[in-house]
Amino acid sequence: MADDTATIFVLFGSTGDLAKRMVLPAFFELERAGLLPTHWALVGNGRGHRSDDDFRQHVRDSLDEFDTAPSDDEWEPFAKNLYFAGGGFTADDPGDLLDVIADLTGTLGDDRQLVLYLALPPSVFVDYTEAIGAHDLAKGSRVVYEKPFGTSPKSFEELDEVVHRYFDETQVYRIDHFLGKESTQNLHVLRFANGMVSGVWNREHVEEVQIDIPETLDIDDRAEFYDSTGAFLDMIVTHLFQVAAEVAMEPPLSLSADDLQTARESVIAGFRPIDPDDVVLGQYEGYRDTDGVSDDSATDTFVAMRLWVDTDRWRGVPFVLRTGKELGVSAQQVSLIFRRPDDGPITHLPADGTVLTFDLSGDGAVDLTVTVKEPGPGLHLTLGHTEMDLDAIADGLSPYSRLILDTLHGDRSLFTRPDGLSHVWHVAAPVLDNPPTPQPYARGSMGPGAADRLPGPPGWILTGADATKG
């Protein structure tokens, strides 16, 4: 471990859905892997009052549901470091949190590191940040904000101003778990470490880039949050724009935190504001019947769009993005579709004859599709595939575990910066100001049929197996 500083980790929203699905299992994964500091404490915070033992039982229930259930031998040393501070946390009333932090500081020492994690809806980020400042918890601490960092250009600016009123930028960790994926990081490692890839990573050779993140899941128990957000804000403005930046960025001077962030944020400045005509929104049939969703909701549960990157490397190459709920397949993949040769003895080549695909799920995989001769008499063309499963190389940490570990170590290379986020909101503004009307689509389909006009001649590389059009 690079840093063994005693750490108090405060988890705001510790009994919420995000904490139980992602953050708590990630923290236990780090403990199981021996990657937490020797001396640490996790303090859950919430409005209600509950004992430490009650909170420990909540954590264990979460691990049983969303993680490999811990054995008693694993659980007991982990559980003794869990605490709860109830009574809420506002600028006027800190509840029990300050007392719990003071008690733990007395045990761990004054030089302990304080990490504040806001696993909360973005609508309360400003209030909690103001409370952190009011109770003098910002000095020397690190703060983690879940996405989205704001819900509009105006709310981003307001939140960014409040955050920098209390924190230096080096203290701020804006989490996007797609950047924590081993497979997302392999996008730039495989590109920059392999000449045969880096040499063709440009508009001269690439005809189109597809970033495709469909989900078979519904909105589960996130109805209230999702209906106020939708697919465009929940996925495009956050995850998919960051993945697009990973693909499109110029080679950084190094893979250090500052250089990697600078390369990623610099290329975002080349994203062209989105033309609403390049966007198709959808809403799956039956969405409005969900508890917590209004009967006349116009929230998008599907979005497909073209993004243009106005840099010398990518000018004129469409980046085609798609994501949505209740679709025919779950996948996370980036595909580079290469241009067919302009001349040569072989004609009538398939439009999808050369495709390099990165599977971002799990530890990932890389698939190369090429045009080959079909065995047998005559010259008949077919597609051949070769795949490298990165799971077979080594087991990696889950994205949340990796990003929490980086926070504990003070490594900001996989976190977003305000300059890039500011331009993201500028890019998204035309759609936010004038959103297309969501089109209905059948559950289990691949979204509205109108989305098929967005890719070039190959169509969508990911077809959804048995999925039908909406």
**Ramachandran sector of residue 56 (left: φ over 0; alpha: ψ -120 to 50; beta: rest):** alpha
Distance CA 263, CA 253 (A): 8
Q: How many residues does the chain have?
A: 470
> Is residue 433 part of an annotated ligand binding site?
no
Measured over the CA atoms of residue 409, residue 415, residue 419 and residue 422, the dihedral's sign is negative
Task: Report cis status (omega within 30 of 0) of the bond before 438.
Answer: no
**Ramachandran sector of residue 230 (left: φ over 0; alpha: ψ -120 to 50; beta: rest):** left
CA 219 to centroid of chain Cα atoms: 17
Across 92-216, the runs of DSSP E, i.e. the strands, are 113-118, 142-145, 172-174, 206-214
Direct distance between the N- and C-terminal alpha carbons of the chain, in angstroms, rounded to an integer: 50
Q: For residue 239, indicate whether it is catalytic.
A: yes
> Is residue 91 part of an annotated ligand binding site?
no
> Which are the contacts of 175, defined by CB distance < 8 A and separation ≥ 6?
144, 145, 146, 147, 400, 403, 415
Q: Cα–Cα distances in Å, from 54 out to 73, 116, 117?
A: 19, 22, 21
> Is residue 46 part of an annotated ligand binding site?
no
Distance CA 163, CA 2 (A): 27
Contact (Cβ atoms closer than 8 angstroms) between residue 211 and residue 229? no
> Is residue 376 part of an annotated ligand binding site?
no
> Is residue 238 part of an annotated ligand binding site?
no
Distance CA 296, CA 310 (A): 38
> Is residue 56 part of an annotated ligand binding site?
no
Q: Shortest CA distance to 332 belongs to which of 300, 367, 364, 356?
A: 364
> Is residue 147 part of an annotated ligand binding site?
yes
3-state percent breakdown (helix, strand, coil) of the chain, nearest 5:
35, 20, 45
> Is residue 403 part of an annotated ligand binding site?
no
Q: Got the DSSP string for 39-88? A: SEEEEEE-SS---HHHHHHHHHHHHHHHSPPPPHHHHHHHHTTEEEE-S-
Contact (Cβ atoms closer than 8 angstroms) between residue 426 and residue 449? no
> Which are the contacts of 44, defined by CB distance < 8 A and separation ≥ 6?
11, 14, 15, 19, 55, 58, 59, 82, 83, 84, 85
> Is residue 437 part of an annotated ligand binding site?
no
Active-site position among 239, 380, 423, 426: 239
> Is residue 13 part of an annotated ligand binding site?
yes
> Is residue 17 part of an annotated ligand binding site?
yes
The two three-digit tokens of residue 70, written as one number: 């811990």
> Is residue 19 part of an annotated ligand binding site?
yes
> Is residue 215 part of an annotated ligand binding site?
yes
> Is residue 177 part of an annotated ligand binding site?
yes
> Is residue 109 part of an annotated ligand binding site?
no
Contact (Cβ atoms closer than 8 angstroms) between residue 94 and residue 121? no
List active site positions. Answer: 239
List the binding residues.
Answer: 13-20, 47, 147, 177, 181, 215, 234, 325
List the binding residues for NADP(+).
Answer: 13-20, 47, 147
